[in-house]
Chain A
Amino acid sequence: MSIIRVEELQKHYGENRAVDGVSFHVEAGEVYALLGQNGAGKSTTVEILEGHRSLTSGAVSVMGFDPAAADRDFRDRIGVVLQSSGVEQEFTVREAIDLYASAYRTRRSLEEVVHLVGLDEKVDERIGSLSGGQRRRVDLALGIVGNPDLLFLDEPTTGFDPSARRMSWDLIENLCATGMTVLLTTHYLDEAEHLADRVGVLMNGRMVAEGTPSQLIDGISGTVVSFALPESVAIGDAVSTFSGVLGQEVRVSGRLVEATVDASTQVVHRLTGWAIEHDIELEGLTVRRASLEDVFLQLTEQEEAQ
């Protein structure tokens, strides 16, 4: 059974089509990531599903509810971790969790919640005295205290340093292991790749690709060949030179030359053949499987070309 069904969703603000015909389903127990840059329509879509915004046209259903008309029983079954929701800093973690728990029919115990989000040590500290990352964990704690069937996570690690992000991912993975369905929005590709069972890529209010991370990666040419631009080749000539050698479009950013290729064996053969012929050592020559980032870059190029 689909927990979330979105059909041809449109949300217009005057002339601006923030969401422009998006459709997707999220199945029970799944972690689904809406991936896109700022302004792609992720947050608008999620806020419609949470019942915070009305839709212009299309149809949405969340656990059988119409979120726009949804009542207490709907909000009892969802957990929401917003980018922009605050909590009184004058309260301790314990007080805030107790208070917000009081609104729900089924609750997780304080001990369980603080343990799940890793705030065991901070339970009697005022929220105002916590670090940014710890406050985000309080957000997470308040999102799961009602033992939701469906959790909305809006940009859960934006602004985190790498180690805090790793830690948050572990926390979110632990939560997902309890069987909750999660709808995640993120503009970090590695986050979607790490956490999501399926990913929907939003661009300019439209869904341009959808699938498991490996399907998306396989969907484009699967391998990335990269190396540092040799000194004997001018930056201005790099694209034409290597596109010719490789027989395929290359990307140049800084001194990094990169190509996403189908048949890496042949391409590497041509490239190394050319290098030996010109007596050039290719620094940092790498052949790796494409990441979600490469998918995203390719989709962005296609979108811009249109």
Chain B
Amino acid sequence: MNDAPSSTARTGGYPSNVALVVRQIRYQLTYFMRVPIALFFTVVLPLVMLVLFNALFGDGTIETEAGEWSVRQFYTGGLAAYTAVGATYSNLGNMVPIRRDEGVLKRWRSTPLPTWTYIAGLIGSAIVIAFVSVVLTLTIGVVFYDLEIDWVKMPAAFVTFVVGVASSAALGMALVSVIKSSSSSSAMVNATILPLAFISDVFVVGVDDTFLGTVANIFPLKPFVNAFQDCFNPLVDGPGFSPGRLAFVAAWGAVGLFIALKRFTWEPSGAAGRRGRRSRQAATDAALN
């Protein structure tokens, strides 16, 4: 080993970016697999919901714009889309603040690892988890719940998936940048995603021309869920692409990416600074009173 002092020769190059990103993705996946609660909420819970909903309502039909649709197929597509959002948006929103609070991000900041490869590892691993979860959900749908795979629509399903998870990962990182501490991250994630899921055709089908329908259409979850459901809806003909919805989802993703890049911090100090100002203000007020 080279033990020379300040003259240490650093002739070797850095590992390639691809190698670094692959290693980061593997590292994030290993971490994910060893945190049982993350694994449960991201992968297992949506499957439990799929089984439950089908047990409760499985024989019914749903009235949609395109006609009567079997509930089983509706749930499988919708919950698969929701799982993809859970693996990216919720997963990043929960996990990254914990690592930031623990100082893991700060430690990486002290190494020569390029910033973007770390972020790419986080997002890449979330997308891998999303992909595996979606495939798992769809497989269960096909095997147990009469889900019909129309191969003509699979390119559309794949593209919809990619746009949806990319956008949702970006929004997850945007959420991370406004979460002050990991103790509030779970609440922030669920407060933003759960109510939206109820009005976005994930658990129950909504009607567009109501107040809640209008609200749902402002956010990207419903367009993504609907676009993904259409890829498995036998009543929808053709390749199943929904360019309008995907553009809308992508626009949200772009906003998320902008906020994430603008506000991302390696330390919980940004939040501490604001708290500091408030407590200083409070101290000043107390002194004046």
Chain B residues whose C-beta falls within 8 Å of the C-beta of A266 in the assembled complex: none
Interface string of B112-131 (1 = CB under 8 A from A): 11100000000000000000
From B1, B27, B99, B267, give the contact of A109 (CB < 8 A): B1
Chain B residues whose C-beta falls within 8 Å of the C-beta of A102 in the assembled complex: 15, 19-20, 23
Report if A50-B110 is in contact (Cβ < 8 Å); known contacts: A72-B14, A84-B103, A99-B27: yes
Chain A residues whose C-beta falls within 8 Å of the C-beta of B19 in the assembled complex: 102
B-facing residues in A78-128 (Cβ within 8 Å): 78, 80, 82, 84-88, 90-91, 95, 99-100, 102-106, 108-109, 112
Chain A residues whose C-beta falls within 8 Å of the C-beta of B267 in the assembled complex: 52
A146 at the interface (CB under 8 A from B): yes
Give Cα distance in the complex from A180 to B51, angstroms: 60
Report if A3-B6 is in contact (Cβ < 8 Å); known contacts: A85-B104, A86-B103: yes
A29 at the interface (CB under 8 A from B): yes
Give Cα distance in the complex from A29 to B10, angstroms: 18
Q: Is the CB of B102 within 8 A of A86?
A: yes
A25 at the interface (CB under 8 A from B): no
From A14, A85, A106, A108, give the contact of B12 (CB < 8 A): A106
Chain B residues whose C-beta falls within 8 Å of the C-beta of A290 in the assembled complex: none
Q: Is the CB of B104 within 8 A of A100?
A: no
From B6, B13, B106, give the contact of A181 (CB < 8 A): B6
A5 at the interface (CB under 8 A from B): no
What's the dominant secondary structure at chain A's contact region? loop
Q: Is the CB of B107 within 8 A of A105?
A: no
B-facing residues in A258-286 (Cβ within 8 Å): none
Q: Is the CB of B6 within 8 A of A28?
A: yes
The 6 closest A-B pairs by CB, nearest first: A179-B5, A86-B102, A85-B107, A80-B110, A85-B103, A103-B113
Q: Residues of B at under 8 Å CB distance from A?
A: 1-6, 8-10, 12-15, 19-20, 23, 27, 30-31, 34-35, 99, 102-104, 106-114, 267, 276, 280
- List 15 A-B pairs, Cβ < 8 Å: A3-B6, A85-B104, A86-B103, A88-B99, A90-B30, A90-B31, A91-B34, A105-B13, A106-B8, A147-B2, A149-B6, A149-B8, A150-B6, A178-B5, A179-B5
Q: Residues of A at under 8 Å CB distance from B?
A: 3, 13-14, 28-29, 50, 52, 63, 72-73, 75-78, 80, 82, 84-88, 90-91, 95, 99-100, 102-106, 108-109, 112, 142, 146-147, 149-150, 178-181
Known: A85-B104, A90-B35, A103-B15. 8 other contacts (CB 8 A): A73-B112, A85-B106, A104-B14, A104-B111, A105-B12, A146-B111, A147-B8, A180-B5
